[in-house]
């Protein structure tokens, strides 16, 4: 993901005065990548089932720009099926060592086949085989069954190309709201919420 430097014009020292949430997101993500030892791109993804019952799990952010936040999954997984029925979601990034959090929510749409193909091809061979072998979210008798499926696929494809299965793709969440939170002493935290307003954004500082 492209990064904007913190000292570039337009980003004030007090982040609650920022006017562009994507510039602020880029800076905070860059600082998280430099500080967090494991998976700084981890985010909690919340969806809802057909009864409105919420579901949440951790996924990895694989792309971010003004078009939205991109993640990938098996379309037959619980989250894939929930997003097909109700294409709206919310995410939260939490970086404990930095005392920061970002929340975002909005509609979700599938990435293009070309985007999914390109990302799938960039993954390690073992990860591609695992993505094909796993019937994600479905009951599994035991681990040897999964390993055997991966071994069979490895023999089938050999050193040749491994095509992306139609059941594996990605989604892009296009935020209508983004909130940035920073830890403060005595729980006097700093918060700013950006809300989509036509082609731009409005912002409001919030009580902690």
Q: Which residues are annotated as a binding site?
A: 57-62, 72-73, 79, 101, 119, 123, 127, 136-137, 181, 187-189, 191
Indicate if 187 belongs to the active site: yes
Numbers of helices and strands, H then E, in the chain: 5, 10
Q: Strand 177-182 vs strand 68-74: parallel, antiparallel, or unpaired? A: unpaired
Q: Which residues are annotated as a binding site for FMN?
A: 57-62, 72-73, 79, 101, 136-137, 181, 191
The distance of Cα 47 from the centroid of its chain, to the nearest Å, equals 13
Q: How many CB atoms lie within 10 A of CB 89?
A: 24
Q: Which residues are annotated as a binding site for substrate?
A: 62, 119, 123, 127, 187-189
CB 192 within 8 A of CB 178: no
Report the C-alpha gap between 75 and 128 in whole angstroms: 15
Residues 6+ apart with CB under 8 A from 147: none
In three-state secondary structure terms, 185 is helix
Catalytic option among 187, 193, 196, 205: 187
Residues annotated as catalytic are 187
């Amino acid at each position: 993901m492209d990064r904007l430097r913190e000292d570039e014009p337009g980003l004030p020292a007090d982040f609650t005065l920022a006017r562009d949430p994507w510039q602020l997101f880029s800076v905070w993500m860059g600082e998280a990548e430099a500080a967090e030892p494991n998976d700084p791109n981890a985010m909690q993804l919340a969806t809802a089932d057909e009864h409105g019952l919420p579901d949440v799990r951790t996924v990895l952010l694989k792309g971010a720009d003004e078009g939205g936040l991109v993640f990938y999954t098996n379309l037959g997984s619980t989250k894939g099926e929930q997003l097909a029925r109700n294409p709206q979601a919310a995410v939260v990034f939490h970086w404990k060592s930095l005392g920061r959090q970002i929340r975002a929510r909005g509609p979700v749409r599938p990435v293009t086949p070309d985007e999914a193909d390109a990302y799938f091809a960039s993954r390690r061979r073992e990860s591609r085989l695992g993505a094909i072998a796993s019937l994600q979210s479905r009951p599994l008798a035991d681990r040897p069954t999964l390993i055997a499926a991966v071994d069979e696929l490895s023999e089938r494809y050999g050193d040749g190309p491994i095509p992306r299965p139609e059941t594996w793709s990605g989604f892009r969440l296009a935020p209508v709201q983004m909130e940035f939170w920073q830890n403060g002493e005595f729980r006097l935290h700093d918060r700013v919420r950006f809300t989509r307003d036509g082609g731009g954004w409005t912002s409001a500082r919030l009580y902690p």
